[in-house]
Structure 1
Amino acid sequence: MSRQFHIVDVFAQEQYAGNQLAVVTDAAGLSTAEMQAIAAEFDYSETTFVVGPPADGAWPVRIFTPAEEIPFAGHPTLGTAWVIREHLADGPTDSVALDLDVGEVPVEVRETDGEEVLWMTQQPPTFGDQLPHADLAEVLGLDVEQLDADWPVGIVSTGLPTIVVPLSDRAALEAIDVNRAAYDAVTGDREAKNVLAFCADPREPDNDLAVRVFAHYYDVPEDPATGSSNGCLAAYLARQDFSGDGRVDARVEQGYEMGRPSLLWHDAVAEGNDVTVRIGGRVIPVADGELV
């Protein structure tokens, strides 16, 4: 039985940038092992499978890395919502909800900076342990002085836990050389396997922050655009009051070191102990095909 798939670039401003995603749109009947094998065959950071029609308004979707199934990821959420909107939905719509392992994730389309941008509202963030700067400096192959001592290293989750690491400048960001043994030691007993390093020193003058994300555990040594971890960063920035008013309204660049420049929009608000996180990006179609 042949099955349709679509390839899109997510958080991209043009084709062959951003983060690649394969979406299998008629995946009902595929076993977990078959989905895992297909994800390994595509070998993108994630592949998604629409496993049925919408139930109670939300489309059931499963997400796989080349190594395993995961409960949530950002660019697969936006990319799959775009594919559903373009190819599966009954008529035009500006909102799509996905039923993921973490729960229902709504995606809406709205004009942002003069462009059509898809926005997802992520799960309410949880904040975990703070870690020693020296431990993460070792993971990233940096001197501890290259981390920003004014801000904590912390674990945050909006569905997929991430270790958030503040750096002093872009030179430190570009100098990262992950020490796999140190990475395994820090992440081994923790749910957080993604490591996000950021600095307020972007390349592009219109952007506010620059980011790199590493996820060796998932067979993703570096990711060009990571919606889940950027959601964790937005929550971190709001909780730490990075801007001085409890809000985060930022343009964030990622993927430049990989030759796949990406742009993500952050929108987060901290009100008391509650933080609301939205992450936006564009989706660019690349290819359609079928699995035979």
Structure 2
Amino acid sequence: MAIDVTVLRVFTDPEGNYGNPLGVVDNSTVDPADRQRIATELGYSETIFIDFPEGGASTAHARIFTPAVELPFAGHPTVGASWWLREQGYAIKTLQVPAGIVQVIYDGDLTAVSARAEWAPDFAIYDLGSVDELMAADPADYSDDVEHYLWTWLDRSAGKIRSRMFATHLGVPEDEATGAAAVRITDYLSRDLDIVQGKGSMISTEWSPEGWVRVAGRVVSDGTKHID
């Protein structure tokens, strides 16, 4: 029987452009042994498998897979899943992933999650100094054993940066918008940020000295596809 996959784009601009594709699957419709296969076949940077809240609860559970591995936490799937759950009538307050409990906030057209900085991978972080150098970077020039986060200031005083992320070992040569990397760079710089990543995706963050980072963005749906 074919499995329904809702396809979202997470961290779009205000007009609904750009954003990182995400596959969303009702976990009750799949065998746990098939999760990695489905994520690999879909080929999105992540696919998230969701268990709906039970009995009026305000929390849901989820598992996250790249085309190659399972992740304990990722930003764009948790933001996207939280938005999707509200669209299904479940405006949750928390989302349980293997790394821990993610706090969920709905703020107008923004959906946000708050996560611990240490839940994000240890990205190799490069300040390339100019937008031209950043955009000229080639993923093939970076090693395939870690995630590489490239960034530069657009407006230092306003906390605006431009970025790209390469993660070949996760099956993602370049990620269009990376919530976990937004968590890391926000903690690294210890300040709130407005991030433009990839071709034009937009992520907003808020930094807390207690080690929490709030990651917010817009989400749109591109409909449903089916996979065997």
User: Structure 1-normalised TM-score?
Assistant: 0.70
RMSD of aligned Cα (Å): 2.3
Q: Aligned equivalents of 1:201 and 1:29: distance in 2?
A: 44
Match of 1:62, SS state, is strand
Which residue is equivalent to 2:152? 199
Q: Which aligned segments of 4 or more residues in structure 1 are displaced greater than 6 angstroms?
A: none
Which residue is equivalent to 2:101? 104
Task: Write the deviation string for residues 148-194 of structure 1: whole angstroms up to 9, x where unpaired.
Answer: xxxxxxxxx433332222221112201212345x514xx4xxxxx22
Pairwise CA distance, 1:85: 0.9
Q: Is the aligned partner of 1:51 residue 2:51?
A: yes
Which residue is equivalent to 2:67? 66
Pairwise CA distance, 1:231: 0.6
Q: Aligned equivalents of 1:46 and 1:278: distance in 2?
A: 20
Q: Which amino acid aligns with 1:208?
A: K
Pairwise CA distance, 1:3: 4.0
Which residue is equivalent to 2:214? 278
Which structure carries more strand by proportion? Answer: 2
Task: Write the deviation string for residues 71-130 of structure 1: whole angstroms up to 9, x where unpaired.
Answer: 1111000001111111152xxx3x43211010111111114xxxx21111011x2xxxxx
Q: Aligned equivalents of 2:140 and 2:225: distance in 1?
A: 38
Q: Pick from 178, 201, 209 the counterpart of residue 262 of structure 1.
A: 201
Q: Aligned equivalents of 2:198 and 2:123: distance in 1?
A: 17
Q: Pick from 109, 119, 139 the counterpart of residue 158 of structure 1.
A: 119
Q: Aligned equivalents of 1:37 and 1:45: distance in 2?
A: 14
Q: Pick from 223, 228, 231 the counterpart of residue 183 of structure 2.
A: 231
Q: Aligned equivalents of 1:207 and 1:237: distance in 2?
A: 10
Structure with more relative contact order (C-alpha pairs < 8 Å, separation 6 or more): 2
User: Which has the higher Rg, Structure 1 or Structure 2?
Assistant: 1
Q: Aligned equivalents of 1:57 and 1:35: distance in 2?
A: 25
Gaps of 5+ in 2: none
Query: In 2 relative to 1, CA 207–224 (structure 1 residues): closer, same or farther, beyond 3 Å?
Result: farther
Q: Aligned equivalents of 2:5 and 2:195: distance in 1?
A: 29
User: Structure 2-normalised TM-score?
Assistant: 0.88
Pairwise CA distance, 1:48: 0.8
Q: Aligned equivalents of 1:51 and 1:276: distance in 2?
A: 25
Pairwise CA distance, 1:288: 2.5
Which has the higher mean CA deviation after the structures are superposed, 207-216 or 228-237? 207-216
Task: Calculate percent identity across the aligned residue pairs.
Answer: 30
